[in-house]
Amino acid sequence: MTDTLDRARATLRANDRGGYTVPTARLYPFQWNWDSAFVAMGFATFDEARAWREIERLLEGQWGDGLIPQIVFHAPSDNYFPGPEVWGTRHAPPTSSITQPPVLAPAARRVLDTATNHGEAEARMAAIYPALLGNHRWWQRARDPLRTGLVATLHPWETGMDNSPAWDRAMARVPTTTTTVVRRRDNVHIDPAMRPRAEDYQRFIHLVDCFRDAGWDPARMLAASPFRVADTGTVAILLRAEQDLLALSRRFGSAAEQAEIADRIALQRAGIATLWNEQAGIWMARDLIDGAPAVVGTSAGFLPLYAHAAEAEQSRRSAATLTRWAEKVRFLVPSTDPADAAFEPLRYWRGPIWAVVNWMIADGLDWAGQPKLAARVRADTATLIDTAGPWEYFDATDGKEAGGADFSWTAAIRLLMG
Ligand code: GLC
């Protein structure tokens, strides 16, 4: 127990590159958006000052319009594609030009609430509050200008669940042609059988080319993107983040800001309700180009519980769905419904267990009045990490480790689970 917590702390320290943490050495040599939010919460369990620093360094990458990029390229590295030259932005430090699920407000709130150094925590939170508010305004303005209650995600990388089968149908519309020459580096570090396929990568880069051609202008990107989905994960995390931001605004913001945030919460609550799939008993993504719902259940489909956005009956039904999944695998929560033909135990987001998603699902299950299932998800997560170490992800059928070793966000989650 102590060993595993020591190892988790050592992993975070080892991946520290000077105030920001790389997800893992080599495979991911920069600062990633939602990884860092979880990492900050992990650091907060033993080094509060370092936790704030992680958030501040991520915000160095924030754009003037409020976007918090998916990647901040603090220092050059040859180990990753597509690097800053492909994105071609003028921001300093260089960044990518898409985003990731906004876990930052929940993370900042938690770092604040668990702080023992109250003076420092108050001051550092006060300093970053405007950046968080600006980011949530960006989501509304850039990704839901028509106020539908469902923000659009324009790239599978923005969902953080790159090759989830929830995107298969929508991605089929994206051409495999690129102007950028694709020079993958991930397959050099990791067994290709565990990574997205070659054609997935062509499509990922087609989208990047398309957005660069749109000058990274939010309205032009939204109009031009051949991939536009309402991702249950992103929509749920944003709704949760708005509630945390509302709590923060009561301490650090104004009455007008509170009203503005409450207004977005009401809008997003109505939006997320439309993603409920009555037949499957889980929330599912929607294609915003043709309105078609996704047809496969994924672990993101439980995240509306983390957003506190379920009716009592939906809480009960989604817990029953998860219990059904548990009959098919040894460990929870597989990233894809293990009864679905799309389930692949080792391929990245098409089956493996990801500790960060488990942590959010467990939080949601507690809220939903399902403490036993929440405890099961936490216990499984701890067992996987304690047995194999803080790997990138795990095979739900046998618990075997996969992807990259010594992964920061997995270590952070181990610390959060105590
Ligand atoms: C992969 C994951 C993404 C994560 C990143 C860094 O791209 O799909 O969720 O943020 O790696 O760990």
Q: What is the pLDDT of residues 90-121, one digit of tens each?
A: 899 999 999 999 999 999 999 999 999 999 99
> Ligand 1 pocket, 34 CB below 6 A?
yes
> pLDDT > 70: what percent of the chain?
100
The CA distance from 21 to 377, in Å, is 26
Q: For this structure, is 144 an active site residue?
A: no
Phi, psi of 238 (to 5 degrees): -65, -45
54 lines ligand 1 (CB under 6 A): no
CA dihedral 374, 380, 383, 384 (to 10 degrees): -130
| Per-residue model confidence as pLDDT tens digits over 198-242 | 898 999 999 999 999 999 999 999 999 999 999 999 999 999 999
Is 392 an active-site residue?
Answer: yes
C-alpha 160 to ligand 1 mean position (Å) = 6
Per-residue pLDDT at 409 exceeds 80: yes
pLDDT value of position 51: 98
Going by their DSSP bridges, the two strands 31-32 and 71-72 should be labelled as: antiparallel
Number of the ligand 1 atom closest to the C-alpha atom of 33:
10
pTM: 0.98
Res. 184: pLDDT tops 90: no
Asked if residue 28 has its Cβ within 6 Å of ligand 1, the reply is yes
Q: How far is the CA of 72 from the centre of ligand 1 (A)?
A: 13
CA distance 216 to 214: 5
Question: What phi and psi values does residue 336 have, to the nearest 5 degrees?
Answer: -130, 145
Neighbours of 52 (CB within 10 A): 26
Phi, psi angle pair for 160, to nearest 5°: 75, 0
Our answer on whether the CB atom of 186 is closer than 6 Å to any ligand 1 atom is no
Report phi then psi at 365, rounded to 5: -65, -40
